[in-house]
């Protein structure tokens, strides 16, 4: 009975602390989750934390402020792009949306959809940030 309680507590703690590590982007992914799990729950926590960290660690790091500023100030195209789908961070844009590379940082691109400016990863078209 006590073993189940310990494993359950370690699982919850690893999930929560893994999320905190992923958000700070200092240590994330499976390694970060394993370290956090080991600190919280010992060997069992390391195993659980590694799995939880692998899931949580796939979060996308925010773009540099220079990229955000560029996208915020870039001139809007004359034609408006409207899509039915909700623009969600972590989800790819529809293939019909044209993305424009950020000139000084080709790791990022942007689009203006439904009057919202979004920063995307060009290769996967995943939304990294929505700028309001």
The residue with tokens 């699982």 is 11
Q: Are residues 7 and 39 in the same domain?
A: yes
The residue with tokens 């990294």 is 128
Which range, of 8-17, 20-29, 80-89, averages the lowest pLDDT? 20-29
Q: Are residues 11 and 33 in the same domain?
A: yes
Q: Which domain holds residue 8?
A: 2-56
pTM given for the model: 0.55
pLDDT of 78 higher than 90: no
CA 79 to CA 86: how far, in whole Å? 19
> What would the pLDDT profile of 26-67 be if each residue is shown by its tens digit?
344 555 555 555 566 666 655 555 555 555 445 568 899 999
Give pLDDT, residue 77: 79
Last residue of a domain, one of 20, 35, 56: 56
pLDDT of 19 higher than 60: no
The total domain count for the chain is 2
Q: Are residues 51 and 100 in the same domain?
A: no
């Amino acid at each position: 009975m006590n073993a189940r309680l310990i494993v359950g507590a370690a699982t919850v703690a690893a999930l929560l602390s893994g999320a905190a590590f992923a958000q700070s982007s200092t240590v994330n992914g499976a390694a970060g989750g394993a370290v956090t799990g080991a600190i919280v729950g010992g060997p069992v926590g390391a195993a659980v934390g590694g799995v939880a960290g692998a899931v949580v660690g796939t979060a996308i790091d925010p773009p540099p402020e220079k990229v955000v500023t560029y996208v915020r100030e870039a001139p809007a195209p004359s034609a408006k792009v409207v899509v039915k789908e909700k623009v969600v961070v972590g989800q790819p844009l529809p293939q019909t949306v044209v993305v424009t590379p950020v000139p000084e940082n080709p790791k990022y691109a942007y689009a203006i959809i439904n009057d919202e400016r979004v920063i995307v990863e060009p290769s996967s078209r995943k939304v990294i940030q929505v700028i309001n």
